[in-house]
Amino acid sequence: MHLKAEICRLLDRIELILQQLKAVEAIRDELLIAPPVNAAAPACPASLMQLRGIGPDFANVLWSEGLYRHFGNRRELASYAGLATTPWQSGTIDRMQGVSQAGNPRLRTVMVQISWFWLLHQRESALTRWFHQRVELDGGRRKKPAIIALARKLLIALWKFVRHGVVIEGAVLKHA
């Protein structure tokens, strides 16, 4: 009898959580389709959802964490996301080290996740071909550093797509 009552209480909690999730998703969807505030602002985050492999959650995080901002060039964007390389100089030696991870950790994490999804859903894009060629050069051992490089390239390509409408070469758009 007590077990049955506890199970009923747990089911009530689950139903409440599902109702709250529906409310949050409805608000998120309204924000995604909202038009830009002014003409100088880039397109709304719904434009990101035109690309196969990017859903409402990814589009929302990409937009709210970085793409709504103005960046002067691609280096500023990559640096903000923590996907830019770090310079190292000593005497006559001038090298680039790995990524600094000094930027926005949420944007960087989402970009790495989107990069893996990009490989699954955009198999014929130029970025996917570039990734596979780079991994083949290393004998398939260095996928993690290559995915970070793909995340940087993809972030810049998505920024150009949102800001200027430049479609990524070979990218497949979702059907209307």
Write out the chain's pLDDT in tens, 176 residues.
999 999 999 999 999 999 999 999 888 888 777 666 555 555 667 788 888 888 888 888 898 888 888 888 988 998 899 888 887 888 888 777 777 778 889 999 999 999 999 999 999 999 999 999 989 887 777 888 889 999 999 999 999 998 888 888 988 888 75
Could you identify the residue written with the tokens 């398939």? 140
For residues 151 and 167, give the distance between their C-alpha atoms in angstroms, rounded to a whole number. 17
What pLDDT, on a 0 to 100 scale, did the predictor assign at position 89? Answer: 80
DSSP state of 167: P
Q: How far apart are the first and last CA of the chain?
A: 52
